[in-house]
Amino acid sequence: MKAILLIHGPNLNLLGKRDAAHYGGATLEDIEALVKSESEQLGYAMKAFQSNHEGALIDFLQKESPNAAGIIINPGALTHYSYALHDAIADAGLPAVEVHLSDINSREDWRKISVIAPACVAQVRGKKEEGYREAVGMLHSHLSKKT
């Protein structure tokens, strides 16, 4: 069974303790359980990883992508400047969905720019943890069209 890689960037380990108005009340463990359940219902395993370090996220992508079906990523603040993470996603050759708990387009100007989005097939923003459920469905739909 191919896996969906669920990747969380900097500060997402603090979900449930961070600003609930922007990020909701779900913890990282809650989101991982949600994505695992949704993924398994569609016939995928799920492998989650979180790091506050850009290089660790890239190392995980490079190691795990050969055995994966797709990627769901919330790059956190790396969204706005990490061309290295963009390149790692593109190099993986897998469909990826970028997820943001808050609506980055209605926040500070610098948050409106995603250098990650061009490497992804879709972006979900502003739907709190439900955005992850939507991302699993989008990824599955994209993968189903390829077969």
**Of 80, 126, 119, the residue nearest 100 (C-alpha):** 126
pLDDT tens-digit readout, 89-147: 999 999 999 999 888 877 878 878 999 999 999 999 989 999 999 999 999 999 999 76
Catalytic residue among 23, 44, 132, 140: 23
Checking if the pLDDT of 20 tops 80, the result is no
Per-domain residue ranges of the chain? 3-142
23 belongs to the catalytic site: yes
Residues 6+ positions from 22 with CB-CB distance below 8 Å: 101, 102, 107
Catalytic residue among 8, 86, 100, 140: 100
Residue 119 is encoded by which pair of tokens? 């490497």
Q: What's at 11, amino acid-wise? A: N
Q: What is the mean pLDDT of the chain?
A: 94
CATH class belonging to 3-142? alpha beta
Residue 29 is encoded by which pair of tokens? 């463990």
80 belongs to the catalytic site: no
Checking if the pLDDT of 61 tops 90, the result is yes
The structure's pTM equals 0.94
- The pLDDT assigned to 115 comes to 97
Residue 66's φ and ψ, nearest 5 degrees, are: -60, -20
Checking if the pLDDT of 76 tops 70, the result is yes
